[in-house]
Structure 1
Amino acid sequence: MRTAKNKKKRKWLRVTGIILLVLLVAGGTYAFTVYKSLKTAVETMHQPIDRKQSEKRQEPVTFKEKDPFSVLMLGVDERAGDKGRSDTMIVLTVNPNNKSVKMLSIPRDTRTKIVGKGTEDKINHAYAFGGIPMSMDTVENFLDIPIDYYMKVNMEGFKDIVDAVGGITVQNDLDFTQDGFHFTKGPLTLNGEKALSYTRMRYEDPRGDFGRQTRQRQIIQGVIQEGASVSSLTNFSDIFAALGKNVKTNLTFDQLMDIQKNYKEAGKNIQQMEIKEQGTMINKIYYGLVSPEEQQRVQNELKAQLELK
């Protein structure tokens, strides 16, 4: 029989979900030590950026009034002496009124205007050219929606987050080998190192980057599920430490607490979105081209989710 104490412990750990827009999942009264550890981790993660409010947003987002909002998640491979590129770009649009989160993966080879650079290039090059602000501006222009916040995850360190939650389980639909690991079809339990390799495979997948994006979303959702279901507090400090070390965001601790309080029902309904494109070679460089019709379709769905006119 589950004790009230164990139920309370599960509520504490759900807070870890806040950081990956799992920030939407849990609630409860916080034990002082857990609260303090979480606040320290979030303060370490907090990294404001010099960027004006979007022209596509007439009024600033107010979490206490439950305004829909968007977050650009950037998965960056950061190594010594290399700024890296945002090989993973996911836009989350959160709507507490219809109680849903829509998760759109943008293929890294997508050709679009790089805002602030004056050229057309692969969308993930925006990070290399101008960091987080240029990535946000470029994605905002491409999708024609305001990008309100960002969350950058160091993919090299993401394995620490997976290990901190005790590993994850995914449903694999393709038999393949990557980095010396063999991944069979069916349910797989992955530690951090295997999870990172699982997300990186692209060339053996007939779906190309779309298959890779699917695996990336599986890993994110796996972290969400494990972070929300663990019944022991013994590793909460490891989880917070891994998040603080490998995640940066312009969301403050108070904003995250408001999201946790006012948007938690939306986090229970995460819907996947994909944007279709046609691969082509331009000047011997591979790009993904998105048709105007497909771009408009995606823009309309996201605007509806954000309740924009």
Structure 2
Amino acid sequence: MADRAQRRGIRNKKRVIAIAATVLGAALLVLCGIFVYRTVINPGIVFELPPKKATPMPTQAAGALPGQVEEEGPQLIADEDFMRGRVNILVLGMDSSAERRETEREDFRTDTMLLVTINFNTGKVDMITTPRDSYVKVTKATGELYKVNSAAYFGGGLCHSGFMNACDTISGVFGGIPVPYYIGVDMDGLKALIDAMGGVEYDVDVEFRGDSGQMYKKGLQHLNGTQVLDYLRLRKGYGTDVDRQARQRRMLVAIFKQLAQTGQIKNLPKIYQALSDMVYTNLTFEQICALVAFGASFNDWDNIGQYTLPGEYHTAYGVYYYLLDQKAKADLVKKVFGVEIGIDKKHDIHYVLSDPRNKNTGKEAEEQDGEDEPDETKPVKPDKSEAPDKSEAPDKSEAPDTTAAPKPPEDKGASEGDGAPADES
């Protein structure tokens, strides 16, 4: 009797274990199914946020001095659901070369501000660059207008709050279109990515000598990480900053096209973890996987929309800026996003150039050496609670005085010259 009871107890335990294993297995299958659905079948779902109304961007009143904010600016004119199935990600590039570490004391302003917008419903991808010298309203900059590349500085530097301040600033530039995500990449991180994927095939469009001393010919060639940086760092004698940004966009497309076509894009989450010290982002791992799944199935690489916000380079209020054509900008937003934004007339290139107080305005025709004059104004310190650690602190000696005319912290790598809006779609 005792043996029979013991055997019955063992059978009951096995049955319980089997039931538990079945339930656990079913739960895992459900979770895996949800993950696959959210990241592979419907990747856009992991980016959906409650829609919110756009915040109007302040503009300058007709009688105000440059930088004084008194009126409401462009407001988004659209149904609140226009962002459903779409994600906007701001890609920020920082160059931490040894030369810039020495000259700027770890103050790496954003060299690149590229808005990538993905419409999961249509499969369309567009890339829009805001030139770093653009004369815009910078969030947290005490109502003043500065160069857009100072946005991270005013948010606290190379940290989450700094990058989010850049996102908020770009959102304002685009009339309030949400920009909730960012990816910040140091040039060293890009070099490591290129080397990890075994180099990239790229059709070099100019003949040049790189920072490494190597000479490059035009044409299709295999580039390693160092060679890619040589190409992307081209400044003096190779067009304007707008031209440099176009080269950056073409290189990014070439990189991700190769990752997708070789199947290496599936390893991107693992590569990201290995390079995490050189990449800043607020994307979750699930969102990264969703983007990887989208990229793996994407096959329209040659039709990615590539644009630069339209405008021209001019000296305005004593500072060299990229002045935006606000009407053309609104037309571009309509083309890409299908929504209308108001026209920010007081910050338009035509208004600034006709301002009688702007005595030093003039279009710069000759090519410069790629170096801006340093700003002698007093610093504005970011909120200490948000500032990065000392090793990443912005160069405060170059920050603007809030009482002065809109004169931002000048970056050392700006390239001057005429800049025509680029449309490479």
TM-score scaled by structure 2? 0.53
Match of 2:260 in 1: 228
1:69 maps to: 87
Deviation at 1:100, TM superposition (A): 1.0
State the partner residue of 2:168. Answer: 137
Q: 2:150 aligns with which of 125, 130, 144?
A: 125
SS at match of 1:116: coil
Aligned to 1:56: 54
Do the aligned partners of 2:203 and 2:220 also contact (CA within 8 Å) in 1?
Answer: yes
Change (3 A) 1:68 1:237: closer
My pick for the range that moved more, 129-138 or 250-259, is: 250-259
Q: Using structure 1 for the length normalisation, give the TM-score.
A: 0.71
1: distance between equivalents of 2:268 and 2:127?
26
- Cα shift at 1:77: 2.5
1:36 aligns with none
Is 1:94 aligned to 2:118, yes or no? yes
Displacement of 1:178: 2.7
- Report the residue type matching 1:67 in the other structure: G
Identity of aligned residues (%): 30
Q: What is the root-mean-square deviation of aligned Cα atoms in Å?
A: 3.3
Structure with the bigger RCO (C-alpha within 8 Å, sep 6+) is: 1
Please list, as runs of the form range in 1=range in 2, the aligned pairs for 1:193-212 lying within 5 A after superposition. Answer: 193-206=226-239, 208-212=240-244
In structure 1, the partner of 2:384 is none
Counterpart Cα distance in 2 of 1:236 and 1:88: 22
Q: 1:271 to 1:292 in 2, by over 3 A?
A: closer
Quote the Cα distance in structure 2 between the aligned partners of 1:292 and 1:201.
Answer: 29
Shift in CA distance, 263/220, structure 1 to aligned 2, threshold 3 Å: closer
**Partner Cα distance (1:99, 1:60) in 2:** 15
Unmatched tracts of structure 1, length 5 or more: 1-25, 29-51
Q: CA deviation at 1:93?
A: 0.8
Letter in 2 for 1:191: N
Aligned length: 254
Query: Does the aligned pair in 2 maintain the 1:77–1:154 contact within 8 Å?
Result: yes
Give me the whole-angstrom Cα distance separating, in 2, the residues matched to 1:115 and 1:280: 23
CA distance in 2, matches of 1:255, 1:238: 14
Tell me the alpha carbon deviations over residues 206-234 of structure 1, each in whole angstroms, 9 at most, x when there is no partner: 3x11221122112212321232233689x
SS of residue in 1 equivalent to 2:201: strand
CA-CA distance at 1:300 after TM superposition = 1.5
Whole-angstrom distance in 2 between the partners of 1:245 and 1:251: 15
Contact 1:54 1:148 in 2 (8 A): no
What does 1:73-88 align with in structure 2 at a 5 Å threshold?
A: 73-78=91-96, 82-88=106-112
C-alpha distance in 1 between matches for 2:280 and 2:145: 27
SS of match in other structure, 2:90? strand
Cα shift readout 1:139-168 (whole Å, capped 9, x = no counterpart):
000012110211111123210111111111
Q: Which amino acid letter does the alignment assign opposite residue 91 of structure 2?
A: M
Shift of 1:264: 5.7
Distance 1:167 1:224, change over 3 A: same
Asked if 1:170 is matched to 2:188, the reply is no
2:227 and 2:308 mapped to 1: Cα distance? Answer: 25
Corresponding residue for residue 182 of structure 2: 150
Instruction: Flag the structure with higher strand content.
Output: 1
Amino acid in the other structure paired with 1:110: S
